Structure 1
């Protein structure tokens, strides 16, 4: 039996990352446990300046139902901004809170990276939203990028970065 170089390379690369367009049942288990500490950096609508706030997040519920959980975001310096976000993954794993899962990768170090897209309005303009969710046992980030439908360049609206 003969193997081509491409087949051999593909076999070798499978352990380094796995890519699919669906969230796996146990992906969000990595978020459970101790609280995450870090920051939110966002582009202010009025000043167009970046603002950074200290932030924490904790996750719960994914151990009871791997497709449903709750993230609690807290801002020690602005407690009035604290909020909770329900997380829902549809049955096929192709939607995360209504956002289309474009790609899901598991890197060789166990890090999960999920790319999603959605449409809506940003600053009263029609836009496409690009989200990147990345988490491992020690790092967790969410990046929201915006591209207005008028062809303006894509930019980062906000980024959460946490460690534990």
Structure 2
């Protein structure tokens, strides 16, 4: 067991080790709950105890975080893969740092995460002199990776126990068994998320739209009145290039006037992203549903109502049915709001 644990030792006097324990507990628990767990249950803070409660089936990487990962360039094999990896690294890594178990390994991977956040994601990085908390967390995890768990850690306790007689090994085995249960408990949902099929967008996905006239409705939110308005709508789609589509809409206004609108869609070369009227959107989910219906979920960062927002398009496409649900989440909100929805058939 001693060979499996990174070497650790007391820092010196007990007061110093107690202070270091408090630092480790704060960093580990705050990152595990405030960064990892809150993302998994799709909350952005831990101010309310109810937000920390287990929600079966709700554990997933939130769309806004997947979009951030994509913007950093982590698109292969999928930004969703890297988002899940980062979230579980925060959750499990934070708990291990707090417990002082495999402390150096856990702290090192968190230091790598905050290296990216502090110097690549942060808009104005300043090495050493920059006064922002992402860099502070980076250096804190570097410190813990260098020092280890200290006197009050499982690493230190287990290393000492391993040097004792076999008669004293039973408590150690119990701790190892408990740690193994925790690892299995936390990695099973993570493994299920990693198993999620990774797909790409192709021009063939959009072929059912072509060579047909579609009719139905557009329901949109009028921001002035906050009321939903429904218009009779027609659609004609054409392929203007191998990876480009033009969607031409005709709407009948409540006063009887007919107005036109156009959406331009372009699939990017990597197949995981597309531009929708100039907005860069990342493929978050692709699934074949019953009834030969294709579902695409696309997420991007842009503006709506002249405010920064995360924008999500959910597309359902079949031979006789086409729908697009656009939802927005403003920077100050935690939930998505329906912006508009097309329901069309031919």
Q: TM-score category by the smaller chain? A: 0.7 to 0.9
1:79 and 2:258 are equivalent in the alignment = yes
- Note the 1:73-152 alignment, pairs <5 A: 73-77=249-253, 78-80=257-259, 82-97=260-275, 98-152=280-334
Structure 1 residue 24: Cα displacement:
2.7
SS for the counterpart of 1:61 is strand
Residues 54-78 of structure 1, C-alpha deviation per residue, up to 9 Å, x if partnerless?
Answer: 001111117x62x211111111344
Partner of 1:49 in structure 2? 227
Structure index of larger Rg: 2
Instruction: Answer whether contact 1:21 1:102 (CA < 8 A) is retained.
Output: no
Gaps (5+ residues) in structure 1? 1-17
Structure 1 residue 152: Cα displacement:
4.4
Residues 13-47 of structure 1, C-alpha deviation per residue, up to 9 Å, x if partnerless?
Answer: xxxxx943411341011111221100110110100
Partner of 1:154 in structure 2? 336
Gaps (5+ residues) in structure 2? 1-195
- The number of aligned residues is 144
Partner of 1:8 in structure 2? none
Distance, in Å, in 2 between the alignment partners of 1:25 and 1:74 is: 24
Q: Which has the higher helix share?
A: 2
Higher RCO (Cα < 8 Å, 6 or more apart): 1
Structure 1 residue 137: Cα displacement:
0.3
Instruction: Answer whether contact 2:203 2:267 (CA < 8 A) is retained.
Output: no
Q: Which has the higher strand share?
A: 1
1:34 and 2:216 are equivalent in the alignment = no
Distance, in Å, in 2 between the alignment partners of 1:102 and 1:21 is: 9
Instruction: Answer whether contact 2:219 2:229 (CA < 8 A) is retained.
Output: yes
Distance, in Å, in 2 between the alignment partners of 1:87 and 1:134 is: 16
Distance, in Å, in 2 between the alignment partners of 1:19 and 1:112 is: 14
Pairing partner for 1:58 from 236, 250, 258: 236
Query: Residues 20, 106 of structure 1: CA spacing in aligned structure 2 closer, same or farther, 3 A cutoff?
Result: farther
> Structure 1 stretches (4+) deviating beyond 6 angstroms?
none
Query: Residues 136, 48 of structure 1: CA spacing in aligned structure 2 closer, same or farther, 3 A cutoff?
Result: same
Distance, in Å, in 2 between the alignment partners of 1:129 and 1:107 is: 23
Instruction: Answer whether contact 1:141 1:162 (CA < 8 A) is retained.
Output: yes
- What's the TM-score, normalizing by structure 1? 0.80
